[in-house]
Chains A and B, each alone.
Chain A
Amino acid sequence: MIIASQKPLDEIRDTLKAYDKVLIAACGTCVTVCLSGGEKEALELKALLGLEGDKAYRVVTPERQCDSEFLEAFDEDVKWADVVLSLACGVGVQYMAERYEGKPVIPGLNTSFMGTNRDAGYWTEMCQGCGNCVLEKTGGICPVARCSKSHFNGPCGGSANGVCEVDPSIECAWQLIYDRLKSLNQLDRLYDTIPPRDWRTSRDGGPRKIRRPDVAIEEV
């Protein structure tokens, strides 16, 4: 899922300065699960911002801000507000902005990464959405997202005791790949050289899109 974290309160306050009526839009999916932009966090934020007592606030929680079918029910609330403070990921913020022409939509979160919850209050990055998955070659551990240098052919010389040279709190992805392939009895795979990537499937080819005729609805 998408992992995000709330922006500093002062930064949020600053971006809201010019407005009187603020709609705090939580999002009921990823950011609810990662405890950064769900209804609970929106209500807490309302309470904190409300301490200043200079603005009117409303809180809404669409199931997903990135899907128009969930937004319609909140059209009136958006109309009421001078500004929408979206606690969705960057997709939700943009989608709201696109839907509500003439209405400023401000991000309340920093969208961080695609990852997982490891422990209470601890999330780690797992996927970079590079568009060409190699997990079958690397024992299910992603070298693109989880190696600091996105190496495809083994660890750099900075891997020591399972830890990355960049930060001792980062596990060396290639140590993990090695251990995993060893346990799968597939160490022979490590002798294959993975050639340079075609990064067009990643962000490097420009913004990406997927069109699928098989599920498209033909205009009559």
Chain B
Amino acid sequence: MAEEKSRLQSLFEAGHFVVTGEIGPPMGADTGHVYKAAEELKGYVDAANVTDNQTSILRMSSIGGSFLAQQKGVEAVMQMTCRDRNRIAIQSDLLGAWAMGLKNLLLLSGDHQSFGNDKQAKNVYDVDSVQVIKMISDMQNEGRFSNGKKVKGVPSFFIGTSANPFADPAELQLIRLKKKIRAGAKFVQTQAIYDVDKFERWMEKVRAWGLHKEAYIEAGVMVNKSVRSIEATQMVPGMDIPDNLIERMRNASDPKEEGKNIVLEIISRIEKIEGVAGVHIMAIGWEEIVSEIVRRAGFSPRPALN
């Protein structure tokens, strides 16, 4: 069993400001889609999330996509939601994922199936996101499944989770984040940030609670290339986009350029916030832009590992 830490974990621990990207697997078994996205991100991000049927749209699995991304030299952050799998499936799939060389794991509740094309599907939620983090963390620390049986070949995922600084009720969202970290989450990726003032206030609370010392907080940002894209983003649950940014996109003569400008402005502010340990850039379907964003934000080249 590989004991070597993931690149992502090593960089966080070495105190680097980490940059991650995101790959959305295809709606099919096409390997080329993931390969292409991975090639575009390679060298510009330290790792890339591979989403687990995000917004409940049926796609290639995160495990499969993560494996493909790693074949192209991009370390994957595999995502796993509680929406589609019970505790048996979650643990089983994670054993397979670890065996195939995946090392970073982002555990989430998952968007409800009513958002996707399979609204008729049964929703699982055998465990919630706090419970699943504790379950996997305990499995790794104690070498036992949640059923108490001994694990032969114990995984050692670098476990992360998500947080939404803009969701309600604010205090309870923080309590839940605290519970996720207590359960074993070592890094946290936030929902895409558009309202930096609000995010700053959230980070003040995170610092007051000391959560930034217990887990690495990565600020999420999204790159929008069109008015349609930012309007669609606004419709995503838990998303909070100030009207002036949508207006800026609407009034822009070159919306693509404006989208890049907006995200660069956001990044330049959030990287200065105390307790932010990295940035998570989401540009699904526009992966080729990530290299430019990373360069223009001054994050290139990415650090090498010793």
Residues of A at the B interface (CB closer than 8 Å) are 148-162, 165-167, 172, 174-175, 178-179, 187, 190-191, 193-197, 199
Contacts and interface: CB of A to CB of B under 8 A. Distances in A.
Contacts of B146: 196
Q: Which of A158, A165, A178 has the most CB of B within 10 A?
A: A158
**Category for how many chain B residues contact A:** 35 or more
A194 B87 CA distance: 16
A186 to B, nearest CB: 13
A195 B163 CA distance: 20
Given A178-B171, A191-B178, A152 B128 contact: yes
A193 B134 CA distance: 10
Contacts of B128: 149-153
8 cross-chain pairs, A with B, having the tightest CB-CB distances, nearest first: A157-B164, A154-B176, A165-B237, A158-B237, A153-B130, A157-B238, A151-B128, A156-B109
Q: Which of A166, A179, A197 has the most CB of B within 10 A?
A: A166
Contacts of B172: 154-155, 174-175, 178, 190
A149 B123 contact: yes
Given A149-B109, A165-B238, A196-B135, A154 B171 contact: no
B300 interface: no
A199 to B, nearest CB: 7
A165 B110 CA distance: 11
Given A148-B114, A157-B164, A196-B131, 4 more contacts: A149-B109, A150-B128, A153-B131, A193-B130
B127 interface: yes
Nearest to A155: B172
B176 A155 contact: yes
A151 B128 CA distance: 5
A151 B125 CA distance: 8
A167 B113 CA distance: 12
A79 B196 CA distance: 74
Contacts of A196: 87, 126-127, 131, 135, 146
A151 B112 CA distance: 12
Nearest to A143: B128
Interface string B167-189: 11101110110110011000000
A150 B129 CA distance: 11
B111 interface: yes
B175 A172 contact: no
A4 to B, nearest CB: 21
B215 to A, nearest CB: 16
B65 to A, nearest CB: 22
B162 interface: yes
Nearest to B130: A153
A191 B112 contact: no
Contacts of A149: 82-83, 109, 112, 123, 125, 128
A189 B182 CA distance: 15
Interface in B84-102: 87
B179 A154 contact: yes
Contact of B112 (A160, A166, A190): A166
Nearest to A157: B164
B191 interface: yes
A159 B167 contact: yes
Nearest to B183: A193
B168 A156 contact: no
B126 A160 contact: no
A7 B20 CA distance: 52
B174 to A, nearest CB: 9
Contact of A158 (B127, B167, B179): B167
